[in-house]
């Protein structure tokens, strides 16, 4: 738990950490509904998402009307997280943090983040099929660690008022029941094979669900503003202008959208000029010194990507001129010779890296890794349900957070750096700047 010294600058803001005993309990649905509830009261709501997540933040950003930043003590570091909270507390009326997985899962866990910054936890639990046991689980979690402060239980999928009363009685005043929420499919958020559907695909539908979510919350205790939390300042020197004058083209459309706002903010802070283009719809690349193909869902749009022959030609020429390209996960698949989609249909991709990509159903790979690049270590994570084969010899591998086996392969040819890893740029700005200007050529090449 953070101890604040009298000499530190402090910003105070009501804050709440929504966590759960497991995934699938309704955290995102409730966080989004709560953000919209307070936003519609005229309050400025800043939402943070625990862990390396791209899809939930899109939903939460639309609900709150404010940028959503991912926070993780390993990937981003405590100093970065502290700085983000302090900045938000200076201008927000409410800070909400959505946890990841179960409250104590992972190293570091959601509980570690909540404890580090003294943010009280509201436990979201799907109570379908249990009553008094829900109270036992909630109280057990509340007493598991002394440094985690609990403010109450949100009983999701709570059948009736009698159901809620059984839970309330079992809690026996040891923990407030902040809300009892009936099951409502009209409020739940749509999902896909890697998680939630992207917000821009269902924007109007989401608006309807947010409005229903406000009514779903009603006027229960969870809707009250939580107590203010003190967030201490964290002095972080602004990054050097290592990308001054560098024009970076960023692929962004329905196929490539897994882009941390923290990454683009850093590129701009280092002086880069950013332009966005669509490999799906644009016929040509923008004027650029470097390209970034982030992750996304190229497998859902493989036919359209393959049919955009002029864009494929431009990317091949850009690579032939040895200009820097960073390709992550879905972007990595786009750089291979071809991609086989979920229907087992194969489409031609750019072919600037030898190999083939293919989807593989529900099996996949995920987890925190450090990208051990020639330019330096950059914190990252992997999350994919595809495989690649017949690729060149990698120049390096990711270093897993807690396992000795080699992580994801990292490839470099010409100016291309490609991997399944999603990089978190603020973890090593200098290395990232070099990726987009003059990537180091390994000795074997």
Q: Do residues 424 and 263 touch, judged by C-beta distance below 8 A?
A: yes
Nearest to 413 by CA among 434, 399, 393: 393
- Beta strands at 338-340 and 356-359: parallel, antiparallel or unpaired: parallel
Distance CA 368, CA 75 (A): 8
CB neighbour list of residue 135: distance below 8 Å, 6 or more residues apart: 153, 167, 170, 171, 172, 175
Q: What are the start-end ranges of the H helices in 242-339?
A: 261-269, 302-307, 309-320, 330-335
Residue spans of beta strands (DSSP E) within 241-299 = 247-251, 256-258, 273-277, 290-293, 295-296
* Structure tokens belonging to residue 336: 């291979």
CA dist 428 → 74, 81, 236, 423 (Å)? 13, 15, 13, 10
H/E run at residue 411: strand 406-413
Which residue of the set 13, 151, 329, 335 is catalytic?
329
Distance CA 67, CA 48 (A): 9
Distance CA 124, CA 151 (A): 11
Dihedral sign of CA atoms 352, 354, 356, 357 in order: negative
Distance CA 278, CA 249 (A): 10
Q: Is 158 a catalytic residue?
A: no
Distance CA 415, CA 438 (A): 8
* Structure tokens belonging to residue 94: 């409410």
Q: Do residues 225 and 41 touch, judged by C-beta distance below 8 A?
A: no
CB neighbour list of residue 355: distance below 8 Å, 6 or more residues apart: 336, 337, 388, 389, 390, 391, 392
- Burial annotation 408-434 (CB, 10 A radius, 16+ → b, else e): bbbbbbbbbbbbbbbbbbbbbbebbbb
Give the number of other CB atoms < 10 A from CB of residue 231: 28
Q: Is 380 exposed, middle or buried (0-12, 13-18, 19+ CB in 10 A)?
A: buried
146: three-class secondary structure by DSSP: coil
Q: Which are the catalytic amino acids?
A: 329
């Amino acid at each position: 738990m953070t101890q604040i010294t009298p000499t530190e600058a402090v910003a105070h803001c009501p804050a709440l950490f929504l966590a759960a005993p497991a995934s699938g309990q309704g955290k995102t649905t409730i966080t989004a509904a709560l953000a919209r509830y307070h936003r519609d009261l005229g309050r400025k709501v800043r939402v943070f998402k625990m862990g390396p997540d791209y899809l939930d933040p899109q939903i939460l950003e639309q609900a709150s009307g404010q940028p959503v930043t991912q926070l993780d003590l390993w990937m981003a570091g405590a100093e970065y997280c502290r700085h983000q909270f302090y900045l938000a507390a200076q201008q927000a009326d409410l800070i909400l943090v959505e946890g990841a997985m179960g409250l104590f899962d992972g190293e570091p866990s959601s509980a570690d983040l909540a404890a580090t910054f003294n943010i009280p936890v509201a436990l979201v639990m799907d109570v379908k099929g249990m009553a008094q046991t829900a109270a036992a689980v909630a109280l057990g979690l509340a007493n598991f660690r002394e440094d985690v402060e609990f403010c109450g239980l949100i009983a999701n999928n709570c059948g009736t008022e009698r159901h809620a009363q059984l839970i309330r009685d079992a809690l026996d005043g040891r923990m407030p029941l902040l809300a009892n929420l009936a099951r409502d499919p009209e409020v739940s958020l749509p999902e896909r094979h890697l998680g939630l559907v992207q917000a821009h695909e269902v924007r109007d539908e989401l608006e309807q669900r947010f409005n229903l979510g406000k009514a779903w919350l009603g006027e229960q205790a969870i809707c009250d503003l939580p107590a203010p939390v003190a967030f201490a300042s964290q002095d972080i020197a602004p990054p050097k202008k290592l990308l001054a004058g560098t024009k970076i083209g960023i692929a962004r459309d329905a196929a490539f959208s897994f882009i941390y706002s923290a990454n683009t903010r850093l590129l701009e802070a280092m002086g880069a000029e950013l332009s966005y283009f669509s490999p799906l719809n644009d016929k040509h690349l923008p004027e650029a010194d470097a390209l970034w193909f982030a992750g996304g869902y190229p497998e859902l749009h493989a036919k359209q990507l393959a049919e955009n022959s002029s864009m494929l030609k431009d990317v091949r020429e850009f690579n032939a001129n040895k200009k820097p390209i960073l390709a992550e996960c879905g972007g990595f698949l786009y750089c291979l010779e071809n991609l086989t989609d979920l229907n087992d249909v194969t489409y031609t991709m750019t072919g600037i890296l030898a190999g083939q990509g293919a989807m593989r159903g529900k099996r996949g790979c995920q987890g925190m890794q450090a990208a051990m690049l020639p330019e330096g270590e950059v914190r990252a994570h992997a999350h994919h349900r595809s495989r690649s084969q017949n690729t060149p010899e990698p120049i390096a591998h990711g270093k897993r957070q807690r396992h000795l086996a080699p992580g994801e392969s990292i490839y470099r040819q010409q100016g291309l750096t490609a991997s399944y890893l999603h990089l978190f740029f603020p973890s090593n700005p200098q290395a990232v700047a070099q990726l987009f200007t003059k990537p180091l050529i390994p000795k074997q090449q």
